[in-house]
Structure 1
Amino acid sequence: MKALQINQIVKAVKAIDYQSAHCFDWINHVTFDSRLCRPGSLFVPLIGGRTDGHDYVEEAIKNGASAYFWSRKVADAPEGACSIIVDDTLLAMQDLARYYRQLIHPLVVGITGSNGKTTTKDMIASVLGTSYKVHKTQGNYNNEIGLPQTILDMPEDTEVLVIEMGTSEAGEMHVLTEIAQPNFAVITLIGESHIEQLKTREGIAKEKASITDSMEEGTIIYPANEPLIPPFIPSRLKQLTFALEGASVEKASLWAENIQLKKHETRFTVDGEEFSLPVLGRHNVSNASAVILLGKCLNLSTEAIRKGLAGFDLTKNRNEWLKGVNGANLLNDAYNASPTSMTAILKGFQETEANDHKGRRMVVLGDMRELGEGAAQYHRDMAKVLDPELIDHVYLFGPLMDNLRQALVETWPENRISYIENDHSALIRLLKEDLQAGDDILFKASFGTGLLPVVESLRAIDE
């Protein structure tokens, strides 16, 4: 980050008090992890449900921290670094991020949506990186803590900030967009993620569309076949839409056509120009369509957009092919799941060309969380997506997946369905026994279901 003097930080966060002797010291690093502190660091002691970062301030100072926020009694502030007294350490961090975003003044692209945020972020960063110096959200740093951290990690020479914006409760997006202040906003889709908290798809759409709250001008890009979004978009913004061939909409700003699905590649055309992606699935063509629209808004050449999409790097645990035990191939998409995202990856896995698969096609599906009262039915509905002609075996994990098991046994042979309620070790043993050379097996579940350790246990030793 660009170095800031402590007196700048004090003003930016409207601090109650600070150690004036240190006011001209410089800060070039902000972190809420005391272990990462070094000389020049500002430590932010966050208060969580189980821990209070104030308990780690002395450790941060030992590791070299030059300053820290403090919201306890002033007299209790440890010596050895500049204490900046604030009412709320998280709010102070957010205020500092807002100030720093304005100081660096990059073009800001905000991405939200029920699914596809991280992949779309990676695509955008790759495409815009062909022409600009880009800084993007790392991992899943997309909430009220991760977003300001992403901004504060931004190098001084950043031209475009590509920032993922996640939300699970009403009102959270408003906080994020007031900090990030995007010039361009992308909504990937409206699904069922966090419907337990946001109650309805309309509630989800309203919350996602709140990404525009801080946009006095600019452009928003969203799917043409989602009628829930437009009512929440202010008329002052330019609106661009995208659609895939076969979509039941009359018009869109961009159409993706001639989609060809392969195991390791997806091809499609836009206005007669061919593009390719290093991932499978029509849902990723949808994500890429939003990226192409954004690239055109910024006057990137077709070749630059094509190059960026063909070579983008995926964030770990999303649509990730890995070498597995016994010569099997693991498709790891187990970081998170909702009915919409599970349907999308299942269709993509099933629709790939048959000659791409040397062995069997199998799936491991785990519970989808935070679906509220409709959770059982959402799981049963996956039976409509799974095709017994294309999938050789289904492994189900978690108590909610018993609903899908009950639906499948009505039409599937029972010897092609395996169900384990909650024993991860038993699932690992079963898969190690069953997997054969050439098998392709997909893993999909909510993070809390815990399939990621299962995937790790099944990776080939030389991976």
Structure 2
Amino acid sequence: MISLTVKEVASAVGAQEITDTWQKIKLDTVSFDTRKLVAGSLFVPLTGEKDGHDFIAQAIKNGAAASFWSRPIEEAPTDIPVIQVEDTLKALQDLAKYVLKKVNPKVVGITGSNGKTTTKDMTEAVLGTKYRVYKTQGNFNNHIGLPITILEMPKETEVLILEMGMNHAGEIKVLSDLAEPDIAIITMIGESHIEYLGSRAGIATAKMEIISGLKPEGVLIIPGEEPLLLERTDSLEKKQIKTFGTKTINDLYPLTLDSQMKETIFTTNLEPELMVTLPVLGTYNVTNALAALAAGLVLGISLKEAAPRLAGFQLTKNRTEWMAAINGSMLLNDSYNANPTAMKAVLTNFSELAHKGRKIVVLGDMLELGEHSQALHISIKETLSADKIDQVFLYGPEMEALHSALIKEFPKERLHYFTGEKEPMIQQLKQIIRPTDFILVKSSLGTDLLSVVRALQA
């Protein structure tokens, strides 16, 4: 966090005046987690399953120099300044908004059913060509994590990239209104959170909340082949909308495309002779790259300038990440997130990958699909061919529907279903994996196939 005095923080959140002796105390960082506090920290006691106010003594011990406070003032500590507010979360968000205006970077907001984090990483690489960039760290992409990201950005930040996640309607609006993006990117509309939003149309409406805080001259970057998004852009001028995708109707699209084990190479309509290399598998990652390149174009970065940066960008862990596995095999770990659209895309690319050895897929439940879950799990069948996939391992109660749908397609010695404890599946995998095998692991994070990945690592 940029250095702020206690007085400045109190003023930023509309709190009462602080005692004169404490007004000039400097605060250099902020946290709601007492374990992450250091000397000079502002402590934010949030109220959830636990009440952060109960940990104020530990916060002071760990270095808190001041604290927000929403309990009665007579319950507050007297050995550090407390900034009395009605709601500590709102105070955190108000402080983030103040710091955002003070640092005044360009803001890029990114949301979508899938590909948010990969697109964030790619956008950082592209914009880093010309600007000092800071991005959302880890999964700090909600109503708490986003203001923390803003507060943690260095004072030299010229472009701030904010990932915006959601589960329910209205959540992206809160984030967009706080961040007021100059550029808003929607990666895709899939089926994630359909349990809460009812349909893909409901998901599209929720994702389009990202334009709620879009600056008057801001730009929206969306997949141009998604009618559910295009029909929701009436509030914007045509010049404010840039599209990307695989078809020629888009402003930016690929002309050629070649996906290999550890890289994907493509050219675009804007620079037909320029080969852009991504250090990741998957034609679906090309659309993520196109969104990042479009953001670069908006901010004055040419494709020729951006391409070398994309070739070396660092992907956040657990997203289409190759790693050495047991018995000399190779494992493609994509176990952080899953929805039907994303799973089909990964399976299609994995199936088409040139390889002389066997291909094994380990698929876990896709969560938050509600009443659509059974049908959507069964729909994965269309990307599982017995001619291209040698072994299929399915895990979780929701995957039972897909298992039943595949029984006629795969011999029983090549189709395996597990639920409950993962150890039996891990042991069977260890018994059959050969040195030349490629293994794909894909599931929602809550299914915890990361534990399977760890067990199969070399």
Normalising by structure 1, what TM-score?
Answer: 0.95
Unaligned runs of at least 5 residues, structure 1: none
Aligned residues of 1:18 and 1:85 also touching (Cα < 8 A): no
Structure 1 residue 18: Cα displacement: 4.4
Residue type of the alignment partner of 1:374: H
Deviations 1:159-213 (A, max 9, x none): 1001101111110011001111100011100010001111111111111111111
Unaligned runs of at least 5 residues, structure 2: none
Deviations 1:367-422 (A, max 9, x none): 00000101011111111111211111000000110100000012211111111112
The answer to whether structure 1 residue 10 and structure 2 residue 7 are counterparts is no
Residue type of the alignment partner of 2:133: V
Residue type of the alignment partner of 2:90: L
The answer to whether structure 1 residue 419 and structure 2 residue 417 are counterparts is yes
In the other structure, the counterpart of 2:391 is 393
Residue type of the alignment partner of 1:304: E
Aligned residues of 2:136 and 2:163 also touching (Cα < 8 A): yes
Classify the secondary structure of the residue corresponding to 1:38. coil
The 5-angstrom pairing of residues 282-293 of structure 1 reads: 282-293=283-294
In the other structure, the counterpart of 1:312 is 313
CA distance in 2: counterparts of 1:40 and 1:127, whole angstroms: 34
CA distance in 1: counterparts of 2:154 and 2:162, whole angstroms: 14
The answer to whether structure 1 residue 404 and structure 2 residue 402 are counterparts is yes
- Identify the match of residue 243 of structure 2 among 241, 244, 256: 241
* Aligned residue pairs, count: 452
Aligned residues of 1:362 and 1:441 also touching (Cα < 8 A): yes
In the other structure, the counterpart of 1:72 is 71
Q: Root-mean-square deviation (CA), in Å?
A: 1.3
Aligned residues of 1:16 and 1:87 also touching (Cα < 8 A): no
Structure 1 residue 301: Cα displacement: 3.0
Residue type of the alignment partner of 1:123: M
CA distance in 1: counterparts of 2:384 and 2:82, whole angstroms: 58
Residue type of the alignment partner of 1:362: I
In the other structure, the counterpart of 1:303 is 304
In the other structure, the counterpart of 2:433 is 435
Residue type of the alignment partner of 1:243: G
Q: Any runs of at least 4 consecutive aligned residues in structure 1 with deviations exceeding 3 A, and if so which?
A: 16-20
Structure 1 residue 16: Cα displacement: 4.7
In the other structure, the counterpart of 2:180 is 181
Aligned residues of 2:7 and 2:17 also touching (Cα < 8 A): no
Deviates more, 1:259-268 or 1:298-307: 298-307
- Identify the match of residue 370 of structure 1 among 368, 375, 378: 368
In the other structure, the counterpart of 1:280 is 281
Aligned residues of 1:46 and 1:53 also touching (Cα < 8 A): yes
Classify the secondary structure of the residue corresponding to 2:220. strand
Classify the secondary structure of the residue corresponding to 1:276. strand
CA distance in 1: counterparts of 2:38 and 2:318, whole angstroms: 30
Residue type of the alignment partner of 2:250: A
Residue type of the alignment partner of 1:118: T
CA distance in 2: counterparts of 1:252 and 1:435, whole angstroms: 43
CA distance in 1: counterparts of 2:376 and 2:281, whole angstroms: 24
CA distance in 2: counterparts of 1:190 and 1:390, whole angstroms: 28
CA distance in 2: counterparts of 1:22 and 1:348, whole angstroms: 60
Classify the secondary structure of the residue corresponding to 1:167. coil
Residue type of the alignment partner of 1:48: G
CA distance in 1: counterparts of 2:302 and 2:255, whole angstroms: 20
Residue type of the alignment partner of 2:212: D
Aligned residues of 2:224 and 2:230 also touching (Cα < 8 A): no
In the other structure, the counterpart of 1:324 is 325
Matched-pair identity in %:
48
